[in-house]
Amino acid sequence: MNQDGNKTANAHYDAKLLSRRRRLVQWVLAPITIIVIALGWRYPLLGFAVPIVMLTGIAGAFINGRYVCGHLCPRGAFFDRIIAPLSPGRPIPAFLRTKPLRWTLVVLLMGFMTYQIAQNPGDVYHWGRVFWLMCVITTGAGVLLAVINQRTWCALCPIGTIQAAIGGSKGELLIDPETCRECGACEKVCPINIPIVKHKAEGVVREPDCLRCPECIRVCPVGALRWPDSDKQFAAQEKNK
């Protein structure tokens, strides 16, 4: 196998391995969403899972865009693993991705949360109850929006919007214009409906909402997709052999 062939095989191998690992991690994380919603009214401190995930997502955005949404968010995991089989997986309407709508939602939800906390800022249990309420409202909205697509909420989620603004251009997916044959297999498995093929001529999938998951790379039959650092990883693995 030549060098390019090796890179392709390696990219496929990594994507398959990472996809399996991601699914496993999501099966562990998804129940956290159910536990917080089911028991948070009685044990309000469980609500603190919400700011932990929010802050992890925002911090992660400085390194790799919406990676946390795609791999480590318990609600994203809940949508991918539990809701996806029940959702028709239709395309997410473009108007839901528009910036004015998304930033309005950021202001409204953050404003609502701050206002609620300000009602009793000295009580840690009150904070927990507010976070729990935010989780119930937004997860409920996400479940309703799953009549369109399991990740419709994620296209709107305020933390996702902030993450995309901070790090949406970091580590963007690359598409090889010479190799891609526009079969559309990658777009079918993309959890958040990214229009990958339209970026073929440019060679870079400039989509700040990309969740940095390995699914499109895993299914591409010709190895046309890869991460910008995959060559570096390949070189390091070759060196260690």
Contact residues for ligand SF4, defined by CB under 6 A: 173, 175, 180-186, 190-192, 194, 196-197, 205, 210-213, 215-216, 220, 222, 224-225
Of residues 50 and 175, the one with the C-beta less far from ligand SF4:
175
Of residues 29 and 194, the one with the C-beta less far from ligand SF4:
194
Cβ-based burial of 46 (10 A; exposed 0-12, middle 13-18, buried ≥19): buried
We find the least distance from the C-beta atom of residue 199 to ligand SF4, in angstroms, to be: 9
Residue 174 forms beta bridges with which residues? 204, 226
Of residues 46 and 210, the one with the C-beta less far from ligand SF4:
210
We find the least distance from the C-beta atom of residue 216 to ligand SF4, in angstroms, to be: 3
Q: What single-letter amino acid sits at 52? A: I
Of residues 36 and 207, the one with the C-beta less far from ligand SF4:
207
CB atoms within 10 A of CB 36: 23
We find the least distance from the C-beta atom of residue 225 to ligand SF4, in angstroms, to be: 5
Of residues 133 and 220, the one with the C-beta less far from ligand SF4:
220
Query: What is the DSSP code (8-state) at residue 119?
Result: T
We find the least distance from the C-beta atom of residue 234 to ligand SF4, in angstroms, to be: 18
Q: Which position has the token pair 């009685």?
A: 42
We find the least distance from the C-beta atom of residue 26 to ligand SF4, in angstroms, to be: 13
Q: Which phi and psi (to 5°) does residue 183 adopt?
A: -75, -20
Residues 6+ positions from 181 with CB-CB distance below 8 Å: 222, 224
Of residues 53 and 225, the one with the C-beta less far from ligand SF4:
225
We find the least distance from the C-beta atom of residue 175 to ligand SF4, in angstroms, to be: 5
Residue 175 belongs to what H/E stretch?
Answer: strand 174-175
Q: Are 153 and 138 in contact (CB under 8 A)?
A: yes
State the Cα–Cα distance between residues 153 and 160, nearest whole angstrom.
10
